[in-house]
Amino acid sequence: MPRVVDEVVTSTVKPRAAAAVSRSLPFAIYIAFLAASPTLGPLLGDPRWLYAIQIGSVLGLLCFFARDYVELKCISSIRPADWARSLTIGILVFVAWIHLDHPALSVGNAGGFNPTLASGGVSPALALIRLCGAAIVVPVMEELFWRSFIMRWIDRTNFLQLSPASISIKALVVSTLLFGVEHHLWAAGIVAGLAYGWLYMRAGNLWVPITAHAVTNLLLGVWVLWTGRWEFW
């Protein structure tokens, strides 16, 4: 049974519109950069450096809105079992992700992020920026948007007053399908969305799915650098 939510839910939260903006704007900016990359990338000479601007912009917004993220203020109450579960799920999602790359389970063509130089070696700066962005910034951004905001908003527009333990199966399924569509490997995205959503509902704390998401992305990044499978980036 899901345990009682740890997050502070009060009647004195900020207006729902402001709460929604602070959780959706970083994600919207991230997606906007992806859409504009064919135009903006060439302006930098090396379009790969656009990722640094993209992730820097998202990080800046997360820092700007940091005080609004009440769901990130109760990390000390997470039980050891939840941390262990988070790490385990993060590893399992990584394993599933690299095996769900069949053409029928993907949409579009993913060129990926290739940090190699003309000389054939990997650029340490490009690789580090990509790895840190994927393993640190993206998990916080996406979990705030998909799990804390969207998954609860589906059930209640005043989403901050809904505990994770009270989220419906409908909200879990709908948000998971949308999360899957966001990714080139949609089937892998669905698996990840279900896993992270379940963790959030069970633990009642957003840091648990954030950690699992970070573990998945960190392992994926290390694996990509090791194997040169840039299409996964």
pTM here is: 0.91
Mean pLDDT to the nearest integer, 104-122 = 86
In this predicted structure, what is the pLDDT of residue 10?
42
Tokens 């704390």 correspond to 205
pLDDT at 15 over 90: no
pLDDT tier at 14, thresholds 50, 70, 90: low
Average pLDDT, the chain: 92
Dmax over CA atoms of the chain, in Å, equals 59
User: In this structure, what token pair is assigned to residue 85?
Assistant: 């579960």
Give the number of other CB atoms < 10 A from CB of residue 178. Answer: 16
Tally the domains of the chain. 1
In this predicted structure, what is the pLDDT of residue 41?
87
Residue pair 131/221 in contact by the 8 Å Cβ criterion:
yes
pLDDT digits (tens, 9 = 90+) for 33-76: 999 999 998 899 899 999 999 999 999 999 999 999 999 998 88
Tell me the residue range of the domain where 96 lies.
Answer: 16-232
User: Does residue 136 fall inside a structural domain?
Assistant: yes
In this predicted structure, what is the pLDDT of residue 71?
94
In this predicted structure, what is the pLDDT of residue 2?
47
pLDDT digits (tens, 9 = 90+) for 128-170: 999 999 999 999 999 999 999 999 999 999 999 999 999 999 9
pLDDT at 113 over 80: yes
Say how far apart CA 106 and CA 116 lie, in whole Å: 25
Burial environment of residue 46 by CB neighbours within 10 A (0 to 12, 13 to 18, 19 or more): exposed
User: Does residue 109 fall inside a structural domain?
Assistant: yes
In this predicted structure, what is the pLDDT of residue 54?
98
DSSP single-letter state for residue 102: -
pLDDT digits (tens, 9 = 90+) for 74-94: 888 899 999 999 999 999 999
User: Does residue 10 fall inside a structural domain?
Assistant: no
CB proximity list for 89: less than 8 A, separation 6 or greater: 195, 196, 199, 212
